[in-house]
């Protein structure tokens, strides 16, 4: 084989690897669609699923318009440099020069983004990152089902999926990010960078959005609003698990010229360890939440995800027995956090904060204790508690909770956040589409969180074609 062929083969392996990993990541969205659709009541199933579907569009397009540039432009800002963009001197050298090369390839008008035989990898990395972004926004979508306006959700999804999480990734999941270079932050599977940001963002939104009608009594006592299709919810989460294997595999860096697999931080790792550790975390997480929730099916299957997120930050470093313990602790405590959130009067329909926010925070902080002392480069601090604390705080509070609360507060003041009481009681399927998800089956509105009030008269018009 000629050297040119060998070089092309290495490029093709890398290109194919990220391409297929990204394709499998779409299963996360299939899973979210089923999970959230099943978790909603029958009168909201179509609206919930369509909202989830729209996540792909609004985040996919905005990530192309500016999200990919944000990821490449923000790593140095504000501690080690400015935001890199068209205004940056094209003759810059050193780190700024290297970052500028990536930035110039990430503009939506960049030749690297189109069919270009001189660059097989920029587009496939964009593809993988776009799927990461959609995943982040989908975490929010589950928490706010059955009462948010579609437009408000779209705005929040753009802010979260194409900006705040991308800034978190630029700072904490980038070879030049200042979390790494200044504090030795390590978050292989994006525990805080993705899950922590989205979980806390969702919490901020939920405070302004308020609970669903019928969720709480007049004295604040929570009432259960059961999923209309728990089996569909469980199948959805199984699909999310499959997608997460691909997600974590896409966190491995392998590009032509390398002699081994590395993390985004440049440290050695193996894809095999992703397979072993993710599987153990999944198994241990399910066991932990099964015990803690006393076999509640919803919490039990969410425990698998809680386990994976709890170990995600150090998935490349932990020994398998440590994975079992950490995943168990994360998933065991998760249901209690979910119930505490409910007790506080917050209606998190799918437990997004408990699973993603809490476990993301726990996962990132655990690296500071259970995987401390790992070197990540010359002049870069070793992994440790302080570095993890700084990164986790910025992700969860500065880039998660505050933007979520702030943007939803503005939308609320403008009357753009929540559907009307009448629409909510009638069900969003009728109110939005004039259709029912299950037109051939009777629905029992007297049960499951329904308040006996007159519903608005909405004509059942045929859908616009």
Partner 1 sequence: MPSPFSTLEDFNAAIDGPTEGAIYTFAHTPAINGIALIVSVGLFIWFIVATYSTTHELPSVDKSLNRLSSFIVMGLLSLVAADQLQNTHQTRRSAQQQATPSTVLAQSKRAAPLALLGMAGIGLPNLRRTKSQRRKRSYRHFGSPRR
Determine if 10 is a binding residue for partner 1 (CB under 8 A).
no
Determine if 314 is a binding residue for partner 1 (CB under 8 A).
yes
Task: Return the residue of 382, 410, 416, 456 that touches partner 1, per CB under 8 A.
Answer: 382
Helix (H, G, I), strand (E, B), or coil: what is residue 135? helix
Min dist CB 268 to partner 1, Å, is: 6
Helical spans, DSSP H, in 313-441: 320-343, 352, 359-370, 385-393, 402-413, 421-426, 428
Segment 348-377, which members bind partner 1 (CB under 8 A)?
370-377
Secondary structure letter of residue 193 according to DSSP: I
Cα gap 253→394, rounded to integer Å: 25
Segment near partner 1 (CB under 8 A); pick from 80-88, 195-203, 313-321, 439-447: 313-321
Min dist CB 437 to partner 1, Å, is: 29
Determine if 328 is a binding residue for partner 1 (CB under 8 A).
yes
Other Cβ atoms closer than 10 A to 437: 23
Determine if 308 is a binding residue for partner 1 (CB under 8 A).
no
Toward partner 1, which CB reaches closer, 243 or 368?
368
Closest CA to 148 of 187, 202, 191: 202
Min dist CB 330 to partner 1, Å, is: 13
Helix or strand run (H / E) with residue 348 = none
Helix (H, G, I), strand (E, B), or coil: what is residue 296? coil
Determine if 273 is a binding residue for partner 1 (CB under 8 A).
yes
Min dist CB 427 to partner 1, Å, is: 30
Contact criterion met (CB below 8 Å) for 395 and 179: no
Task: Return the residue of 4, 89, 219, 378 that touches partner 1, per CB under 8 A.
Answer: 378
Toward partner 1, which CB reaches closer, 127 or 374?
374
Toward partner 1, which CB reaches closer, 107 or 290?
290
Secondary structure letter of residue 105 according to DSSP: T
Cα gap 324→310, rounded to integer Å: 10
Task: Return the residue of 225, 269, 282, 346 that touches partner 1, per CB under 8 A.
Answer: 269
Count, in order, helices (H) and strands (E) of the chain: 19, 0
Determine if 275 is a binding residue for partner 1 (CB under 8 A).
no
Toward partner 1, which CB reaches closer, 324 or 425?
324
Q: What are phi and psi of 216, to 5 degrees?
A: -125, 145
Determine if 71 is a binding residue for partner 1 (CB under 8 A).
no
Other Cβ atoms closer than 10 A to 110: 18
Task: Return the residue of 383, 392, 396, 408 that touches partner 1, per CB under 8 A.
Answer: 383
Min dist CB 252 to partner 1, Å, is: 14
End-to-end CA, the chain:
55
Q: Which residues bind partner 1 (CB under 8 A)?
A: 267-269, 273, 284, 287-288, 290-291, 294-295, 314, 317-322, 324-325, 328, 370-378, 382-383
């Amino acid at each position: 084989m000629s050297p040119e062929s060998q070089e092309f083969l290495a490029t093709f392996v890398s290109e194919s690897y990220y391409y297929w990993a990204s394709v499998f990541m779409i299963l996360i969205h299939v899973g979210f669609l089923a999970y959230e659709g099943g978790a909603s009541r029958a009168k909201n199933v179509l609206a919930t699923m369509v909202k989830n579907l729209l996540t792909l569009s609004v985040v996919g397009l905005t990530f192309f318009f500016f999200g990919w540039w944000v990821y490449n432009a923000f790593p140095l800002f504000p501690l080690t440099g400015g935001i890199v963009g068209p205004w940056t001197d094209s003759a810059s050298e050193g780190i700024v020069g290297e970052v500028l090369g990536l930035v110039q390839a990430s503009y939506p008008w960049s030749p690297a983004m189109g069919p270009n035989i001189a660059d097989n990898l920029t587009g496939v990395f964009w593809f993988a990152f776009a799927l990461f972004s959609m995943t982040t926004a989908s975490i929010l979508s589950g928490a706010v089902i059955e009462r948010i306006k579609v437009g408000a959700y779209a705005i929040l999804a753009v802010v979260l999926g194409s900006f705040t999480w991308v800034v978190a990734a630029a700072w904490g999941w980038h070879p030049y990010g200042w979390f790494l270079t200044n504090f030795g932050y390590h978050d292989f599977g994006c525990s805080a960078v993705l899950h922590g940001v989205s979980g806390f963002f969702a919490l901020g939104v939920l405070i302004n959005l308020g609970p669903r009608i019928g969720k709480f009594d007049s004295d604040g006592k929570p009432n259960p609003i059961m999923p209309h299709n728990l089996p569909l919810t469980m199948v959805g989460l199984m699909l999310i698990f499959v997608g997460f294997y691909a997600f974590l595999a896409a966190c491995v860096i392998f590009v032509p010229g390398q002699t081994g697999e590395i993390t985004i931080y440049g440290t050695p790792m193996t894809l095999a360890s992703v397979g072993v550790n993710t599987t153990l975390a999944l198994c241990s997480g399910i066991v932990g939440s099964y015990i803690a929730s006393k076999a509640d099916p919803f919490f039990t299957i969410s425990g698998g995800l809680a386990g994976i997120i709890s170990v995600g930050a150090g998935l490349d470093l932990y020994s398998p027995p440590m994975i079992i313990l950490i995943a168990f602790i994360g998933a065991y405590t998760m249901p209690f956090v979910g119930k505490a959130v409910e007790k506080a009067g917050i209606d998190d329909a799918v437990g997004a904060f408990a699973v993603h926010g809490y476990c993301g925070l726990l996962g990132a902080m655990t690296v500071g204790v259970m995987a401390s002392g790992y070197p990540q480069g010359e002049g870069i601090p070793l992994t440790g508690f302080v570095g993890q604390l700084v990164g986790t705080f910025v992700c969860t509070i500065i880039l998660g909770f505050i933007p979520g609360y702030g943007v939803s507060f503005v939308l609320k003041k403008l009357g753009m956040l929540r559907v009307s009481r009448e629409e909510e009681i009638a069900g969003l399927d009728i109110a939005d589409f004039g259709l029912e998800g299950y037109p051939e089956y009777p629905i029992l509105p007297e049960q499951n969180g329904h308040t006996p009030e007159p519903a608005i008269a909405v004509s059942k018009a045929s859908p616009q074609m």
